[in-house]
Amino acid sequence: MSLFIRTRCVRKPAIGSTGPTLPQFASVCGIALVVACSHAPRADIRHTNPSSQAMTMERNQATEEVAIRKLVDGFVKSIGAKDLAGVMAAFAPDVVSFDLGPPLQHGGGDAFAKRWRELFDSYAGTIDYDVRDLTITAGADVAFSRSLNRVSGTLKNGQRAARWLRWTVCYRKIGGKWLIVHEHVSVPIDVRNGTALLDLVP
């Protein structure tokens, strides 16, 4: 890119000098400046296509959502089969769970596994566990989902039990694998008497 700069080079010729006259000297200076500017390094300008970036982000998000759905599908199958190892594999070791039963929060480890074992032992046979309206929002390494889940089956006392739960989950990608780091399981309550409403359906 050539750059035109209007400038003046002033030189007072010595008495009796045969060198270039003032106009000639100014002309030479102007030519030298234009030539120097034309050889200056050019800035490396790269243009990105916003629509291409958006498409790439959408593809990446879709890929992560598929991976999380696969995690949830495996989690659901493990519950139905009473597969404790399969259930625990969906959670990060330091998971924090806001489950239905006390205390206010549950951590991971042996105590967390014990709660799942007690749940499995309370059913006579397999457990029917369904996830409905699973909605996932995923980033590069953090994601969350919400859904309405139904758990049902025959208890060891012969009673048939079924209820709908609200399930909100936070995920993190750890070591290239999505894991549940936080879950919130809840049911609506009657705020007037504090009674859980277990017969509601979507």
pLDDT tens for 4-40 read 444 444 444 444 555 555 444 444 444 443 444 445 4
Phi, psi values for residue 95, rounded to 5°: -60, 145
Alpha helices in 12-127 (DSSP H): 22-38, 50-80, 84-88, 110-121
Q: Which tokens belong to 117?
A: 């074992």
Residue 20 sits at the vertex; the CA angle it makes with 16 and 26, to the nearest 5 degrees, is 130
Q: In terms of CATH architecture, what is 58-196?
A: Roll (3.10)
Q: What is the pLDDT at residue 112?
A: 96
Question: Three-state DSSP class for 194?
Answer: coil
* Torsion angle of the four alpha carbons 125, 126, 132, 136, in this order, in degrees rounded to the nearest 10: 140
d(CA 124, CA 157): 8
Residues 6+ apart with CB under 8 A from 10: 22, 26
Q: What is the pLDDT at residue 12?
A: 47
Phi, psi values for residue 23, rounded to 5°: -60, -40
Return the domain boundaries, the chain.
Answer: 58-196
Amino acid identity at 17: S
Cis peptide before 103 (omega within 30 of 0): yes
β-partners of residue 129 are 151
Q: What is the pLDDT at residue 186?
A: 97
Q: Helix, strand, coil: what percent of the chain each, to 5? A: 30, 30, 35
| Per-10-residue mean pLDDT, the chain, length 202 | 44 50 45 44 57 78 96 98 98 96 93 96 96 97 98 96 97 97 97 93 94
* Torsion angle of the four alpha carbons 89, 90, 92, 95, in this order, in degrees rounded to the nearest 10: -120
Q: What is the pLDDT at residue 41?
A: 52
